[in-house]
Amino acid sequence: MVTDSIEEHPAAQSRPRRRFAARAISGVLAVAVVLGVGQLVALLINPDSSPFYAVGSTTVDRTPAWAREFAIETFGTNDKPALFIGMSILIALLGALAGVLERPRRPVGSAILIALGLVGVYAALNRPTADAMYAFPTIVGVVAGVVTLRLLIGQLDVAPSPGIPETWLPRRQFLMLAGVAVAVAAAAGAAGKFVGQRIAGASANRADFVVPTAASAAPPIPAAANIGVAGASTYITPNDDFYRIDTALLVPQLTTDSWELRIHGMVDRELTLSFDDLVARTPIERVITLTCVSNEVGGNLAGNATWIGYPIKDILEEVGVHPDADMLLSTSVDGFTVGTPVEVVTDGRDAMLAVAMNGEPLPFEHGYPVRQVVPGLYGFVSATKWVTEWELTRFDQVDAYWTQRGWGAQAPIKTASRIEVPASLAPVNAGQIQIAGTAWAQHRGIKAVEVRVDNGPWQPATLAQEYSIDTWRQWSWMWDAAPGLHTVQVRAIDLDGNVQVEERTPPIPGGATGWHTRSFTVK
């Protein structure tokens, strides 16, 4: 009877399913070995040559503008972990597929690993810093992965020996091999990550860095520049809270010894500055607010810091910029490029090569040892981190990184304001309520901020004391709130008289516009 036979041989039913799972696991282990070994071998060359990072970086570079916006909107500054998790899931699925399809005499899974390897080699060879050696980590990783897969699948497909009872566990050899594969992948991956992060003693170099004393100090920050409302931004953004936006999956670990700036192109005298050459100049200290073009209306991709650095203008005067050069094309050590108008960095504003942020050497994430800071322009056209090359060229000859991907070539910061307090969805009780937030219009300055409730008349907000036209300004406004559902809206007016644009437009190509609006249910 059918039911009897099932009860007598329960293992017979689930064996194919177990086989399937064991194959899938074999494939996942094999890709883990590819990535782990690849990461380890990459240590000998450059962390950016590891298959995982090379593919990740290439994905970032090939991401269309709308997808970048989606990623930043959805994950904010967690866009990198989100990418890593997404990649890991996809790679694990492809590995499982390779395991399921692999047979001792029909190595379809091995072919999948090799195809994945070709993607890795292609990505690695196309990194901006790549040479032929960049193919090596992926190749060694794929060889190790294919050997792992062949051995594991070979064990699974060994015919049961007569006389040896079939147990419900896969064969002992399979488990042993699988254990070895896990250990290899984990050890290689961990070692690769550990050493990669600490490459060339960059942390020690940063720890020894002595922040220069500025010959021209920033004016002291008056207490009244801080509006002092609980929950609102502070006037200065601490380094740990400062937003971070860049395309670098591996934060570059430069040292002051390895850093240099090569200046060439449409100049009278080419020049290569070492770090010692740079710090032999006269440093200035300034407070400047940075903003990302991807910031949505009301978003938090803006921060204000005290920077110490060296005026860009002085260096450009030294090399002699040709009169027809209108673009300073700066390149970071990882190949990212930025195009900044020569006019802006020489018009007398405090555009600088910064080496310190809020009294500390630049954090690695923010460009150690040298980055650009230019008041008034969005970061993608001005704020190159880990900058190592300047070319004087023309906007009609070159497009920088984001311009190639659909963003504007020139992008002054738009006049903006946002509501920070009360927080979104915070409970609000009827009566006197403090509304507060921040407004900015770098290098034009904020003249006024206005607030309105339920589309009523605009009311002037109280502004914190102005520090300079290059930094943001906080505001507050007392609202006598009546029970019910209300919307509060804010707009800023800059010192040139421009009123923040009402029309809602997305960040691409030159920065979002619209008035920040928050709804509150007052009890």
Ligand X SMILES: Nc1nc2c(c(=O)[nH]1)N[C@H]1C(S)=C(S)[C@@H](COP(=O)(O)O)O[C@H]1N2
Would you give the end-to-end CA distance of the chain in angstroms? 72
Q: Would you say 116 or 338 has its CB closer to ligand X? A: 338
Nearest residue (CB) to ligand X, 36 versus 56: 56
The strand pairing partners of 368, in sequence order, are none
- Whether 181 and 29 have beta carbons less than 8 Å apart is answered as yes
Complex with Mo ion: residue 109 or 379, whichever CB lies closer: 379
Instruction: Pick the closer one to ligand X by CB: 36 or 298.
Output: 298
Contact 84, 60 (CB under 8 A): no
365-403: b (≥16 Cβ within 10 Å) or e:
ebbbbbbbbbbbbbbbbbbbbbbbbbbbbbbeebbbbbb
The residue (of 154 and 506) whose beta carbon lies closer to ligand X is: 506
Q: What is the DSSP letter of 77?
A: G
Query: Using CA atoms, how far apart are residues 42 and 48, in angstroms rounded to an integer?
Result: 7
Q: Looking at beta carbons only, is 24 or 292 nearer to ligand X?
A: 292
- The partner residues of 137 in beta bridges, in order of sequence, read none
Nearest distance, CB of residue 23 and Mo ion, angstroms: 45
- Kindly provide the b/e burial profile for residues 259-290, where b requires at least 16 CB atoms within 10 angstroms of the residue's own CB: bbbebebbbeeebebebeebbebebbbbbbbb
The item of ligand X, Mo ion, none sharing an interface with residue 384, based on CB under 5 to 8 Å by kind, is ligand X
Q: Which does 383 bind (CB under 5 to 8 A by kind): Mo ion, ligand X, none?
A: ligand X
Phi, psi of 133 (to 5 degrees): -60, -20
Comparison of 367 and 379: residue with beta carbon closer to Mo ion: 379
The smaller minimum CB distance to ligand X, of residues 102 and 246, is found at 246
- From residue 89, alpha-carbon distances to 28, 63, 123, 147 in Å are 10, 18, 19, 22
Q: Which residues pair with 417 in a beta bridge?
A: 439
| Radius of gyration from C-alpha coordinates of the chain | 29
Which one, 133 or 409, has the nearer CB to ligand X? 409
Q: Which of Mo ion, ligand X, none interacts with 353 (beta carbon under 5 to 8 A by kind)?
A: none
Contact footprint for ligand X (CB under 6 A): 242-248, 290, 292, 332, 336, 366, 379-380, 383-386
Report the partner that residue 385 touches, choosing among ligand X, Mo ion, none (CB closer than 5 to 8 A by kind): ligand X
Residue 392 interacting entry, from Mo ion, ligand X, none, C-beta within 5 to 8 Å by type: none
Q: How far is the CB of 350 from ligand X (least distance, A)?
A: 17
CA-CA distance, 89 to 222, in Å (whole number)?
Answer: 51
407, interface contact from ligand X, Mo ion, none, CB < 5-8 Å by kind: none
* Residue 142 C-beta: closest distance to ligand X, Å: 30
| Number of neighbouring beta carbons within 10 Å of residue 176 | 11
Report in angstroms how near the CB of residue 68 gets to ligand X at its nearest: 10
Choice between 46 and 291, CB closer to Mo ion: 291
Smallest gap from residue 357 Cβ to ligand X (A): 8
Select from Mo ion, ligand X, none the partner in contact with residue 336, using the beta carbon and a kind-dependent cut-off of 5 to 8 Å.
Answer: ligand X
Return the closest-CA partner of residue 463 out of 453, 448, 451: 448
Binding stretches for Mo ion (CB under 5 A): 245, 292, 379-380
* The entry of ligand X, Mo ion, none that residue 246 binds, CB within 5 to 8 Å by partner kind: ligand X
Q: How far is the CB of 365 from Mo ion (least distance, A)?
A: 14
Closest separation between CB of residue 289 and Mo ion, Å?
A: 13
3-class DSSP string for 351-371: CEEEEEECCEECCHHHCCCCE
Q: Which residue is nearest to ligand X (CB)?
A: 379
Residue 216 has what DSSP assignment? B
Q: Which does 243 bind (CB under 5 to 8 A by kind): Mo ion, ligand X, none?
A: ligand X
Mapping DSSP onto H, E and C, the string for 372-423 reads EECCCECHHHCCCCCEEEEEEECCCCCCCCCHHHCCCCCCECCCEEEEEECC
Q: How many residues does the chain have?
A: 523
- How far is residue 264 from each of residues 52, 326, 330, measured CA to CA in Å? 34, 14, 11
Q: Pick from Mo ion, ligand X, none: which does 332 bind, CB < 5 to 8 A by kind? A: ligand X
Estimate to the nearest angstrom the gap between the alpha carbon of 185 and the chain centroid. Answer: 26
- Please state the closest distance from residue 383 (CB atom) to Mo ion, in A: 8
| Residue 377 Cβ vs Mo ion, minimum distance, rounded to whole Å | 10
In the complex, minimum distance from the CB of residue 72 to ligand X, in angstroms, rounded to a whole number: 10
Ranked by CB distance to Mo ion, the top (closest) residue is: 292
Place of tokens 């922040």: 211
Nearer to ligand X, 295 or 468 (CB): 295
Instruction: Report in angstroms how near the CB of residue 242 gets to ligand X at its nearest.
Output: 6
Is there a contact between 357 and 206 (Cβ–Cβ < 8 Å)?
Answer: no
Phi, psi of 170 (to 5 degrees): -60, 165
Q: Shortest gap between Cβ of 351 and ligand X (angstroms)? A: 14
